[in-house]
Amino acid sequence: MADEVEEKVNPEIKEAETIEQFHNGQLLYIGQNEECIPTFLAEKYSSITKRFDLSFNQLKSLSDLERFQNLEELVLDNNRLSDDVVFPRLNHLHTLTLNKNFITDLYHLLDNLAENVPSLTYLSLLGNLACPNELSSPDNDEEDYQRYRYYVLYKLPKLKFLDSTPVKQEELITAKEKGAFMKVIKAEESELIPDPKISPETDDSNYSPLPQSASNPDQHSG
């Protein structure tokens, strides 16, 4: 009888255990179609998680993220996070990837990160309209992207790596001197504007996502 009970229970336990994976401070919860962070993850792992991978979900909210106060690395690629996303205070977070989400308002995001993520040294925003390279629109050029880099580094001067490229010392110097005027707004023609809160361009008609090879959860790495 005990053997029969074990045969019935064990498959259920194994199935439940495969939903999330945790090992040596690294928590993986990939491709589960969640719109928010499941409460059970925060209750079970928040105090012991240093690296959290939530890629390939449908996240629209980061509620409960504030409970992960020991977090150092956070992977949020391929979700549905938009301009209303708010990052809580995370003093130890140094690596954040937000590739392929729906972020258009660079001002709001950088203000939020500058205030609440003081240790950030690695940030990637590829595949968002807020990141004006050719992946987000074929209308963008290298000059647009370089201005974007100067502005991001002006707001987050501790960054050592932005998107797919290490930060150069020359960029930091230029960002400090001129970064406040380097935000590019696409209207009839590009203009350099200062730091004030100005709504960014949100037209996604020319949006071009990352290659399909980058969207395979089996090949994903933060």
Give the model's pLDDT for residue 18.
54
Give the model's pLDDT for residue 7.
39
Domains of the chain: 21-185 (3.80.10.10)
pLDDT over 70 at 188, yes or no: no
Least confident of 25-29, 74-78, 144-148: 144-148
Q: Residues 108-118: what's their mean pLDDT?
A: 97
pLDDT over 70 at 27, yes or no: yes
Q: Residues 97-122: what's their mean pLDDT?
A: 97
Least confident of 77-81, 132-136, 176-180: 132-136
Q: pLDDT-derived band of residue 134, with 50, 70 and 90 as boundaries?
A: confident
CA-based nearest residue to 16, from 46, 38, 47: 38
Q: Residues 178-201: what's their mean pLDDT?
A: 49
- The long-range contacts involving 163-171, CB below 8 angstroms and separated by at least 24 positions, are 163/123, 163/124, 163/125, 163/126, 163/131, 163/133, 164/124, 164/126
pLDDT over 60 at 102, yes or no: yes
Could you tell me the pTM of the whole model?
0.75
pLDDT tens for each residue of 82-91: 999 999 999 9
